[in-house]
Every structure is written in C-alpha cells, then in structure tokens.
Amino acid sequence: MNRYPRNGSAHTPILVFAGIVGLSVLFFFIFSAGSFGKKESPAAPAPAPGARTPVVPAKLPADAAVSVPLPGETPAGVPQVTASATLEGLLAELAGLLAAGDFAAMEKFTVASDNMAPRTAFLKQLLLNCGWRVASNPWVDAGTITGVNRRELKLEPANPGVAKPAGAVMADFERVAGSGWRVKAWRFDAALVTQAEALLAARAITVSASGLTDAPDPLDQARRFLKDVVGHDFKAARSITEASGVTHEKLAGLCIVFEEGEYHIADTRPVVVTAGTADSAWAIVKVRSDKQNLDSEVGITLQRTPAGEWRVQALDFNKMLESYVQATGGGSVFYSPLVKSAKGGESIVLYFEFDKAELHPRALHQLDIISSLLKSDPARKMRITGHTDALGADDYNARLSATRAKNVHARLLELGVSATQIETSGLGSKIPLDQDKRADGSDNPDGRSRNRRTEIYLDF
C-alpha cells in the first residue's frame, strides 16, 4: 500500500517552474536597482556644415585661441574678437591663416576699428595681388613700447622675378587682462605702400594710401638708428640724431665697436622703449657679439621735436664699450676706440707701441671704418693730433708724435680719402690722457700706454 497519494506527483513540475520564475524576478530587481531613476542623455546634435565646433576650455592647451568678449568692444550683435592665451600661440595661428589666405578667420583676431579696416584690406592686397607670400619663418621680434609687443611680418616674392618688398609690415599686439592677446594695429612702411600702389595699379586695382602709414614712433626710430649703425650707414644715422647731444666722434665710435666686435641686435626683446613724457622716451637695445661671446646693451634717449619728429638726443654705450675693451684688451698697446679728450668732448683714438709710429693692426681696421665715413661726404673734415708719453726729450717726442699723425694721414690717403679733408699736427707729450708716473714717483706703464696715441676729431 502506497504512503503518498497519486496526485502529489502530478503537482511537482508546477511547483518547480514557479520557483524558477520567482528567483528570476528576484535577481532582476537586485541587479537593476542601481539604474532606476536615471535617464539617458540625448545624443548631441551634429553641427551644421561650416559651423565652428564648440570648445571646452578645461581641455584646451595653454596657447589655444578662444573667443572671448573684450570689454567695451563687443556690444550685442557685433562679432566677438578672438584672443589667444599666449602671444606665441597667436603668432602661429595668424601665420597659418595668412599663408592659407583665410582672411575672414584672421580678422577675428584683430581689433575692429575705423582705422584698422583699410589696413586689413591693404594687407589682403599685398598677399593676393602683389606677388608676395608669408615667409616660412614669418615673425621677427621688433621690440616693445609701453606694453605693446611689435613684430615684423616677413613677406617674400612668391615667384622668381617678383621684386622684394621695399619696406616692412608690422603688427602691434596687446594683451587684454582676463582674455588674452590680439592684434591691436597693422603698420606699413611708406616705401612699401608706394611700391604696392604701383604693383596694384598695373593690375587695374586702385587703393587709397590715406591712413595706411604712421609717423615713426620712438621704437621705430631706435630700430632705424641701430639698423643704420649695423649697416655702417653713418649719414643715415646722423640724419636722425641731434649733433648737440651725440657728437660725430661718439657716433663713429659706436660704429667702430659694432664693426670690430661683430655685434648684432638681439633676437628676443631687442628694443624696450619706455615713454617718459609725451615728448621724451628711453630705449634699451640688447646687442650680442657671437665673436666675443658677449651680451651688452645700448641706451638711447629720444626727444620729440616741435615738428613732431622723434630724434636721438643721447647715446650711452659705456657698458658695451667697457665689456668689449676688457675682452679684447691686453698686450703692450692700450685699446679703446673712444675716449674723453683732454681738450674737451670726445675723440676717436688709435694707440701705438712704445717708441714706434707704425700702425697697429687694430688701428688699420679702425681707419677702414673711418675712411668710409669720410668718403661718403667729401665736405667732411678730420683733424689728427699725434701724442707720446713723457719718456724722452721734448724735441724727439714732437717728431715722433708728428710721424704718428702723418702715418695715419698716409693710410687714409691709401684708402681713398681726399688730402683736403685731413689736417695733422704733432703735440708730443704736452696733452696726456693719463699720468706717466704714479703718486709715489714710480713709473706708470699703463698710463704711458694710454698716452701713446693719435686722436681723431671729426668736423662734420
């Protein structure tokens, strides 16, 4: 006899199935509970053709360009000016846009103003219709003036046979607090504007030169002056200096030091101009001699004339001169191309060996430079005075000093200087630059070395 009823085995499959379903529901709730209450974010719409992809500032590199409203210059309805977090980032961005001819994008980096509109349009013409292109390394640091960083944009012929630009294109950059760097102004040399007008006219394109150029400011004049000095263009350098503040001898001495030391203007922050008043400014020019591995500087004081022209009023290159003299000094012949004269003012100086009248190799080099200054204008005059130290008889020293002056005279004649431009005299030991003896009565070799010389006075 069976213990269990027959119908018990019939319900067993149903109970098993129900248990499985229950466990499935339980596991579903356990693993899905964390996602309850959350909604899926809708997919971002695809940008319209040509639209600018929005940027996320937190993910931008340090030099990325971002569109930011600049205070007081982007009222409602006016396109925002684009600024760059770093100047180098902006320079790279502009170079690429200008090379690609994307002027619309380039203009977003430029402050909008009535003055800038024709200049931006003129820049387009230079690159589109004058046969020029942006150079591969387009930017040259021109210096700073009262917080504005100026760079030269180098243009070059796009094809053989095209004339080189006759002048420079400059860009002034300024930094706006809280936003970044942007182009404040484009500046064009007058010679470039004249050249471009002719090139465009040949293609039946007319441009108005009105408002395209600016009067040279202190930074322009400081750069022009040093460019003339480096290029040995004494006449051009003289044309923007005040003779009352910068003697001919001092200017010639600066030319000599630049030439002998093979100095050039530094590549980074070469000129820093600080405005003193509306009519005065100071410029510090950084210079470099790779030959002597020397870094130095030249100070330039500039004044505005009543006519509004900025001119070089004073020069200070003592630091440059002292470091160069120290680096090249030594030996039995003293060296300094420029000294305070015993007669007052300054003079160019050539030094000699003891008891000799032959020209030292360095003196020969100095005369090469001086001769180029004299030959550029036959009306210029020069006075040469010979000198000795105090050793020896007076009549002997008088003859020796006269011979030294005559040897300088003869060398200048060999270099093509007219005899009518030169006057010579021998003064013996009458006008020493230094003491021949020390206070205790002992010999002073260094002082006597300074006294063995000829002095050159330039009467321009």
pLDDT, residue 7, reads: 44
The total of other beta-carbon atoms located within 10 Å of residue 442's CB is 8
pLDDT tens digits, 288-316: 999 889 899 999 999 999 999 999 999 99
- Average pLDDT of span 149-154: 97
What mean pLDDT do residues 232-261 have?
Answer: 87
**Cα angle, residue 400 at apex, residues 398 and 405 outer, rounded to 5°:** 95
| Eight-state DSSP code of residue 143 | E
Report the pLDDT averaged over residues 9-14.
47
Residue 309: C-alpha distances to residues 186, 302, 404 (Å) = 21, 10, 43
Q: How far apart are CA 315 and CA 249, in angstroms?
A: 12
Is 20's pLDDT higher than 70?
no
139 — pLDDT class (breaks 50, 70, 90):
very high
Burial state string for 186-222 with b = 16 or more CB within 10 A and e = fewer than 16: bbbbeebbebbbebbeeeeeebeeeebbbebbbbbbb
- Global pTM reads 0.74
How much is the average pLDDT of 22-33? 45
Give the pLDDT band of residue 259 (cuts 50, 70, 90).
Answer: confident
Residue 343's pLDDT band (boundaries 50, 70, 90)? low
- Give me the pLDDT at residue 423, please: 93
Q: Residue 378, Cβ neighbours under 10 Å: how many? A: 11
User: Phi and psi at residue 194, in whole multiples of 5°?
Assistant: -60, -45
> pLDDT at position 375, please?
78
pLDDT at 77 over 70: no
- What is the per-residue pLDDT for 39? 40
Q: Look at residue 437 in the predicted model and tell me its pLDDT.
A: 92
Residue 304 has a pLDDT of: 96
Position 260 scores a pLDDT of 81
CA within 13 Å, CB half, 224: 20
Higher pLDDT, 228 or 261: 228
Pure H helices in 130-177 = none
The pLDDT score that the predictor gives to residue 286 is 95
pLDDT in tens, 390-411: 999 999 999 999 999 999 999 9
Query: What's the pLDDT at 365?
Result: 83
What is the predicted pLDDT for the residue at 58? 32
Half-sphere exposure in the Cβ direction for 256 (13 Å, CA):
29
Q: Where are the alpha helices (DSSP H) in 53-189?
A: 87-100, 103-107, 116-129
Q: Which band of pLDDT confidence, cut at 50, 70 and 90, is reported for residue 33?
A: very low
DSSP class of residue 241 equals B
Looking at the chain, the whole-number percentage of residues with pLDDT higher than 90 is 53
| In the predicted structure, residue 107 carries a pLDDT above the cut 80 | yes
Q: Where are the beta strands (DSSP E) in 267-419?
A: 271-277, 280-289, 294-304, 310-316, 338-340, 346-351, 381-387
Position 25 pLDDT exceeds 80: no
Indicate the DSSP class of residue 218: H
Gap between the Cα atoms of 336 and 2, Å rounded: 135
| d(C-alpha 259, C-alpha 105), whole Å | 45
pLDDT at 329: 64
Backbone angles phi, psi at 66, to 5 degrees: -130, 145
Angstrom distances, CA of residue 152 to CA of 140, 155, 169: 5, 9, 6
Name the β-bridge partners of 415.
none
Query: How large is the average pLDDT for residues 161-174?
Result: 95
pLDDT at 316: 93
Least confident among 15-19, 208-212, 226-230: 15-19
Which range, 322-326, 332-336, 357-361, 424-428, is most confident? 424-428
C-alpha distance from residue 307 to each of 211, 215, 257, 319, 355 (Å): 19, 11, 33, 33, 54
φ and ψ at residue 176, rounded to 5 degrees: -105, 125
* Torsion sign over Cα 54, 60, 61, 63: positive
CA distance 143 to 145: 7
- Alpha carbons 231 and 260: distance in angstroms, whole number: 13
Asked if pLDDT for residue 369 goes beyond 90, the answer is no
For the cut 60, the answer to whether the pLDDT of residue 4 exceeds it is no
Q: Say what the pLDDT of residue 332 is.
A: 60
The pLDDT, as a whole number, for residue 276 is: 80
Stronger pLDDT, 338 or 120, i.e. the higher one = 120
Max distance between CA atoms of the chain, in angstroms, equals 165
pLDDT, tens digit (0-9, with 9 covering 90-100), for 261-283: 889 999 999 999 998 889 999 99
pLDDT at 331: 56
Grouping H, G, I as helix, E, B as strand and the rest as coil, residue 19 is: helix
